[in-house]
């Protein structure tokens, strides 16, 4: 039977439609496979979509490129770097600012006082030196407040810091009403201050002291000695010479905390960088040490720290300058060791054992005339020029020797040294112990009666204090642990995973694109073969010849 030409055209059109249908079905099947294998798919609704936003080829290529770029950036700018840089700004509402603005109650103050056990024998000349015994500790919580906080345009932060102690009865085993025998600080202190005054002034003071019946040793309760040390001679002296005796209460802690509200300006922000973070720029509006003449003392308070926060990214060769007003000088801390504390790598910095020694060839801001021996530092500038000197507890460094002035001292490095343990990246102190001893420096009393001269050129230990940051709140410890221990390796793993996932998405789309092209080529080749077979068909050839023979 001879084929109809119209049927031949219909067969060609049918073959063409079959080719288009086959290509379309191939693409549909591949799109469905993509959605089924892609985690973005969620249920039948997305399977019905031909190309969803998260499943189409373009979206997956974009996500792949973004993941690779973000992961590479994560290697260059790590999450820890970002967090430390953000901490520099001390933004309100963020943890670093909130922890600093309301410091945790973790600083314990332990005070030890000295009781004289042989005062009668000493005054009679039977004993050459006073013998002292340590009594304590009397335990307080030191509360620290930060308020009136102001951010300045020059990348500094100004605030008011106030410290005050709170007695902790549950931690005290010492009766604060127990009696002490102590040197009469009012008489000896004023006499030492007037040691080089003219004869009339010295005579007037002796008359004043004798008229009040003041003795060289007195009895005081521990509470009175620390908080309510009053003598009649103080009241009279304050009325007669308020410049000489500005206060009538010489209680040790009363004097320290009566003026412990300070306006401090510190450096913050990326302009100053990690090495200058939270270092003091101004203290009570001045850059020099309070009480010292800027022209006579080269030391500056700029660059020191109050010990609440230290600079970030600490190095082992960094020297940390610690400022504590009760010590009345800058205290350098040097790297000692590295170890693990609370699962966090930390650095320990020790206070130099020669910190109270005399300085050679430069101006010594902490000496007096006559000169102090090594191991003692003048503290009078912070105590109304009262002859106070600062040392390590029990003179533990051996300068001066423990029995040079009194007997009964028992120096011990583990009990009497000072140090701070810091997490080096954040500069946050994990442990901090500052121990200092206050002493009365008695000058040459040769211009006074014999009972005064027994104290000539003595340094009398009065008390020593230990400021101990015992711990950090658990929320801060765990946050630091996450930042410096968990986060760095976790960020590396996440960056590697991001690169791998990005490469997978790109490779997958490249493979699928190649597969589509290969399928299309195969279909076209197959169709071409079918057309050639039709052309070679004998019936087709016969009809073609018959058609050509038909006369026109």
* CB of 424 closer than 8 Å to CB of 345: yes
Average pLDDT score over the chain: 84
| pLDDT for res 298 | 84
Q: Is the pLDDT of residue 16 over 60?
A: no
Confidence (pTM): 0.80
Q: Is the pLDDT of residue 480 over 70?
A: yes
The per-residue pLDDT for range 387-437, each reduced to its tens digit, is: 999 999 999 998 889 899 999 999 999 999 999 999 999 999 999 999 999
Q: In this prediction, what percent of the chain has a pLDDT beyond 90?
A: 47
- Residue listed under structure tokens 């933004």: 91
Q: In this prediction, what percent of the chain has a pLDDT beyond 70?
A: 83
Residues 6 or more apart whose Cβ sits within 8 Å of residue 193: 244, 385, 386, 387
pLDDT tier at 548 (50, 70, 90 boundaries)? low
Average pLDDT over residues 220-238: 90
pLDDT tier at 1 (50, 70, 90 boundaries)? very low
| pLDDT for res 472 | 84
Q: Is the pLDDT of residue 550 over 80?
A: no
Instruction: Output the six-digit token pair for 157.
Output: 């932060």
Q: Is the pLDDT of residue 356 over 80?
A: yes
Pairing of strands 130-151, 406-407: parallel
Q: How far apart are CA 325 and CA 330, in angstroms?
A: 9
pLDDT tier at 478 (50, 70, 90 boundaries)? very high
Instruction: Output the six-digit token pair for 468.
Output: 């101990």
| pLDDT for res 530 | 59
Q: Which of 387, 491, 380 is nearest to 83 (CA)?
A: 491
One-character DSSP codes across 400-437: S-TTSSEE-----HHHH--EEEEETTTTEEEEEEEEEE
Element of type H or E holding 241: none
One-character DSSP codes across 201-218: HHHHHHHHHHHTT--SEE
pLDDT tier at 341 (50, 70, 90 boundaries)? very high
Average pLDDT over residues 297-314: 91
The per-residue pLDDT for range 496-532, each reduced to its tens digit, is: 888 888 788 778 777 777 777 767 667 767 666 655 5
């Amino acid at each position: 039977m001879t084929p109809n030409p119209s049927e031949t055209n219909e067969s060609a059109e049918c073959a063409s439609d079959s080719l288009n249908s086959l290509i379309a079905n191939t693409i549909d099947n591949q799109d469905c496979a993509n959605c089924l294998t892609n985690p973005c798919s969620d249920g039948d609704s997305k399977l019905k979509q031909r190309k969803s936003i998260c499943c189409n080829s373009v979206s997956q290529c974009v996500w792949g490129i973004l993941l690779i770029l973000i992961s590479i950036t994560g290697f260059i700018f790590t999450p820890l770097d970002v967090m430390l840089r953000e901490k520099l700004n001390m933004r309100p509402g963020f943890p670093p600012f909130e922890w600093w603005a309301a410091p945790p109650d973790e600083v314990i103050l332990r005070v030890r006082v000295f009781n004289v056990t042989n005062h009668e024998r000493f005054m009679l000349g039977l004993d050459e030196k006073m013998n002292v015994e340590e009594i304590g500790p009397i335990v307080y919580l030191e509360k620290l407040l930060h308020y009136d906080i102001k951010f300045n345009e020059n990348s500094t932060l100004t605030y008011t810091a106030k410290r005050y102690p709170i007695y902790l009865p549950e931690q005290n085993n010492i009766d604060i009403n127990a009696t002490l025998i102590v040197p009469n600080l009012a008489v000896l202190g004023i006499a030492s201050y007037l040691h080089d005054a003219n004869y009339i002034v010295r005579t007037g003071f002796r008359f004043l002291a004798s008229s009040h019946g003041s003795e060289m040793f007195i009895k005081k309760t521990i509470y009175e000695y620390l908080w309510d040390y009053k003598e009649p001679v103080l009241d009279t002296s304050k009325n007669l010479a308020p410049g000489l005796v500005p206060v009538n209460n010489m209680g040790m802690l009363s004097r320290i905390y009566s003026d412990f509200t300070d306006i401090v300006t510190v450096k913050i922000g990326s302009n100053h960088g990690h090495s200058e973070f939270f270092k003091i720029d101004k203290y009570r509006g001045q850059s020099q040490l309070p009480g010292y003449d800027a022209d006579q003392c080269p030391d500056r308070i700029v660059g020191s720290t109050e010990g609440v926060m230290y600079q970030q990214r600490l190095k082992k060769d960094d020297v940390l300058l610690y400022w504590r007003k009760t010590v009345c000088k800058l205290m350098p801390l040097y790297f000692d060791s590295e170890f693990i504390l609370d699962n966090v790598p930390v650095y320990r910095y020790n206070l130099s054992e020669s910190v109270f020694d005399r300085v050679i060839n430069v101006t010594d801001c902490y000496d007096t005339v006559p000169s102090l021996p090594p191991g003692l530092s003048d503290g009078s500038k912070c105590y109304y020029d009262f002859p106070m000197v600062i040392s390590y507890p029990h003179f533990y460094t051996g300068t001066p020797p423990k029995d040079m002035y009194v007997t009964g001292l028992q120096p011990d490095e583990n009990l009497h040294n000072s140090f701070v343990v810091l997490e080096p990246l954040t500069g946050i102190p994990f442990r901090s112990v500052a121990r200092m001893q206050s002493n009365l420096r008695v000058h040459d009393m040769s211009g006074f009666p014999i009972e005064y001269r027994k104290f000539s050129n003595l340094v009398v230990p009065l008390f020593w204090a230990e400021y101990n940051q015992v711990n950090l709140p658990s929320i801060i410890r765990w946050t630091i642990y996450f930042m410096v221990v968990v986060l760095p390796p976790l960020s590396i793993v996440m960056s590697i995973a991001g690169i791998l996932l990005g490469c997978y998405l790109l490779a997958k789309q490249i493979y699928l694109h190649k597969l589509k092209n290969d399928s299309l080529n195969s279909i076209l080749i197959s169709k071409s073969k079918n057309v050639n077979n039709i052309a070679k068909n004998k019936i087709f050839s016969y009809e073609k010849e018959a058609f050509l023979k038909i006369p026109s």
